[in-house]
């Protein structure tokens, strides 16, 4: 599997920046596929130049209400992009998929991390596949699935319940043979959580998740809770300020990596944050 990510030490280093590369075409024609490949590769090159530490390549949208994509279609989207980036860069690559077949193909093409929004619960062979591949795995918390997850989720203490559920998934992964040092946890901001009532306390209490002792990945970039807090209800592309504010809250809590669309701006914000911390 090649490159393995090891978490930075919170006191001395900033979180790693994971740049998002979506390969989700609207058109299934050959022309559309080719254009999508070229666009994804161009984006990957730009994010590397902007200072990304890792890239997360995904071929299926997980937005609320999104329709599932067959495994062969998803693999045909992400594998050529992963192989092309790997051919020209040593940057660690992650594949954002819930399907073991896609993770396996991505690993063969050069990915060293499997980012699974279902925490290896989507397929019967997810856990065994992760153990066999020996790659890093991101176990993300979600209630329900992308089609149903925003239907009135209910929590008592959301931060405690998410930490408990992820600790249990980590135990299951280790029982299936995934090495402890390969496991990352992600609170799944926006996945089966009320925009403000759940996402905000979850971010505010990230230290509880960090305290479990696994590296934590946080994805807040352009998410809808930011639009909910914006006086004008900003759309996804108008949420950079809020994305950075939430990313810095994660940095202060000791997360190991941030999944972001805007790499350059996030790297700059983290550099300033770390410099101020160092001057204390
Ligand atoms: N969020 C999205 C997708 N994958 N993976 C992890 N580990 N954590 C996240 O928070 C996370 C994720 C959101 O997906 P989507 O809405 O499809 O858009 P995008 O991939 O552009 O963020």
pLDDT tens figures, 85-137: 999 999 999 999 999 999 999 999 999 999 999 999 999 999 999 999 999 99
Question: Residue 1: its pLDDT value, please?
Answer: 44
98 Cβ closer than 6 Å to some ligand 1 atom: no
Question: What residues pair up with 20 in beta bridges, in sequence order?
Answer: 56
Residue located via tokens 């930011």? 226
Question: Residue 223: its pLDDT value, please?
Answer: 98
Distance from the alpha carbon of residue 17 to the mean position of ligand 1, in angstroms: 14
pLDDT band (50, 70, 90) for residue 10: very low
Site to probe by mutation for ligand 1, drawn from 17, 21, 117 as the one with most ligand atoms within 8 Å of Cβ, is 117
Query: Catalytic positions, please?
Result: 223, 259
How would you write the chain as a 3-class SS string? CCCCCCCCCCCCCCCEEEEEEECCCCCCCHHHHHHHHHHHHHHHHHHHHCCCCEEEEECCCCCCCCCCCCHHHHHHHHHHHHHHHHHHCCCCEEEECCCHHHHHHHHHHCCCEEEECCCCCCCCCHHHHHHHHCCEEEEECCCCCCCCCCCCCCCCCHHHHHHHHHHHHHHHHHHCCCCHHHEEEECCCCCCCCCCCCHHHHHHCHHHHHCCCCCEEECCCCCHHHHHHCCCCCCHHHCHHHHHHHHHHHHHHCCCEEEECCHHHHHHHHHHHHHHHHCC
Q: Is the CB of residue 40 less than 8 Å from the CB of residue 21? A: yes
Q: Is the pLDDT of residue 12 over 70?
A: no
Question: Residue 192: its pLDDT value, please?
Answer: 95
140 Cβ closer than 6 Å to some ligand 1 atom: yes
Average pLDDT, the chain: 93
pTM of the model: 0.94
Residue with CA closest to ligand 1 atom 10:
219
Phi/psi of residue 232, nearest 5 degrees? -105, 10
Distance from the alpha carbon of residue 219 to the mean position of ligand 1, in angstroms: 7
- Give the residue with greater pLDDT, 64 vs 127: 127
- Give the residue with greater pLDDT, 67 vs 91: 91
Distance from the alpha carbon of residue 146 to the mean position of ligand 1, in angstroms: 11
Point out the least confidently predicted range of 32-41, 53-62, 90-99, 238-247. 32-41
Q: Is the pLDDT of residue 30 over 80?
A: no
pLDDT band (50, 70, 90) for residue 150: confident
Question: Residue 110: its pLDDT value, please?
Answer: 98
Question: Residue 13: its pLDDT value, please?
Answer: 82
Report the pLDDT averaged over residues 12-25: 91
Return d(Cα 225, Cα 53) in angstroms, integer: 26
Report the pLDDT averaged over residues 146-153: 79
Distance from the alpha carbon of residue 205 to the mean position of ligand 1, in angstroms: 20
Site to probe by mutation for ligand 1, drawn from 136, 240, 259 as the one with most ligand atoms within 8 Å of Cβ, is 259
pLDDT band (50, 70, 90) for residue 233: very high
């Amino acid at each position: 599997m090649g490159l393995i990510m090891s978490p930075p030490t919170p006191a001395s280093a900033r979180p790693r920046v994971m740049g998002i590369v979506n390969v989700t075409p609207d058109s299934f024609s050959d022309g559309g596929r080719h254009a999508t490949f070229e666009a994804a590769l161009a984006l990957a090159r730009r994010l590397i130049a902007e200072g990304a530490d890792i890239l997360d390549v995904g071929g299926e949208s997980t937005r609320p209400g999104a329709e599932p994509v067959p495994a062969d279609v998803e693999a045909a989207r992400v594998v050529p992009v992963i192989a092309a980036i790997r051919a020209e860069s040593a940057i660690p690559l992650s594949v954002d998929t819930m399907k073991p077949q896609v993770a396996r193909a991505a690993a063969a093409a050069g990915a060293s991390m499997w980012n699974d929004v279902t925490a290896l619960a989507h397929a019967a062979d997810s856990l065994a596949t992760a153990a066999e591949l020996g790659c890093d795995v991101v176990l993300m918390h979600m209630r329900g699935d992308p089609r149903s997850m925003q239907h009135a989720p209910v929590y008592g203490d959301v931060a405690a319940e998410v930490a408990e559920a992820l600790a249990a998934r980590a135990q299951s992964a280790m029982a299936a043979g995934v090495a402890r040092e390969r496991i990352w946890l992600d609170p799944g901001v926006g996945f089966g959580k009320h925009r403000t009532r759940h996402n905000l306390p979850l971010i505010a209490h990230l230290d509880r998740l960090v305290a479990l002792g696994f590296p934590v990945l946080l994805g807040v970039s352009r998410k809808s809770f930011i639009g909910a807090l914006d006086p004008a209800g900003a759309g996804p592309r108008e949420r950079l300020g809020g994305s950075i504010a939430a990313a810095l809250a994660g940095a202060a809590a000791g997360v190991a990596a941030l999944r972001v669309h805007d790499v350059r701006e996030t790297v700059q914000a983290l550099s300033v944050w770390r410099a101020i911390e160092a001057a204390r």
